[in-house]
C-alpha cells in the first residue's frame, strides 16, 4: 500500500492481483469501483497478475477484496 499525503485528505493507492481476464468482466466490477470513495481505478489486463490499482481516501484493502469476491472474482493485495 502506498500512501500519498495530498492537502487535507490522505490518499492511498491499493494494488491487487486479480483473475479478471476480459473487458466484459471489468464491466461486472464497475458498479463496485465507480463509487465516490474511489477517486481513480484501473485494471491492467495485459499484466500477468491482471493488476487492479485503486486510489482512495476512505476504503481499505479488505473492503476491496470483500467487494470483488462478492462479485465472484479473486482479489489479493500486492505489497
What tens digit of pLDDT does each residue of 16-60 get?
Answer: 999 999 999 999 999 999 999 999 999 999 999 999 999 998 899
DSSP summary character for residue 34? S
In the chain, the number of structural domains is 1
Yes or no: say if 15 and 64 are a contact pair by the CB < 8 Å rule: no
Domain that holds residue 54: 2-77
Yes or no: say if 32 and 71 are a contact pair by the CB < 8 Å rule: yes
CATH number at residue 11: 3.30.70.100
* pLDDT for res 79: 79
Q: Are strands 9-18 and 2-6 parallel, antiparallel or unpaired?
A: antiparallel
What the block records as the C-alpha cell of 8 is 487535507
Yes or no: say if 20 and 52 are a contact pair by the CB < 8 Å rule: yes
Amino acid at each position: 500500500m502506498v500512501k500519498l499525503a495530498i492537502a487535507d485528505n490522505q490518499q492511498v493507492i491499493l494494488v491487487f492481483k486479480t483473475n479478471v481476464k476480459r473487458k466484459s468482466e471489468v464491466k461486472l466490477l464497475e458498479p463496485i469501483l465507480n463509487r465516490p470513495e474511489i477517486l481513480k481505478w484501473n485494471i491492467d489486463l495485459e499484466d500477468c497478475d491482471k493488476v487492479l490499482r485503486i486510489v482512495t481516501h476512505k476504503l481499505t484493502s479488505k473492503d476491496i477484496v470483500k467487494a470483488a469476491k462478492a462479485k465472484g472474482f479473486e482479489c489479493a493485495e500486492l505489497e
